[in-house]
Amino acid sequence: MLAAGAMTVPLGPTTTQRAVDQMNSSSMRGVPTPPVRQAPRVDSVWVPDRWVPAPGVPQGVFEPGHWVIFTPEGGRIAPPPPRPDLTQTP
């Protein structure tokens, strides 16, 4: 009987060895690469952070940096201006 009980013990890798194997396999995986960022358009201009004067707001309104695109007709495409009624922080 004792011999039959000894024969049922699995002879595969130990739990510690399996844990080590899993750590090794996960550390050898490749690192994902981020997507390539698009270059800014040639017809766009970077406008840095600035304080823009606004009626009723003595210190002005903070406008974060953004890209402005100028159209061939002389138009300007930009994000909407900041609202003077909101709390402004740089």
DSSP-assigned letter for residue 29: S
Q: What is the pLDDT of residues 18-61, one digit of tens each?
A: 888 888 887 777 778 888 887 777 778 899 998 988 888 888 88
* Two structure tokens written together for 11: 């002879």
pTM over 0.75: no
Per-domain boundaries in the chain: 46-77
Strand partners, 47: 66
13 has a pLDDT exceeding 70? no
Cα gap 63→57, rounded to integer Å? 13
What integer pLDDT is reported at residue 49 of this predicted model?
92
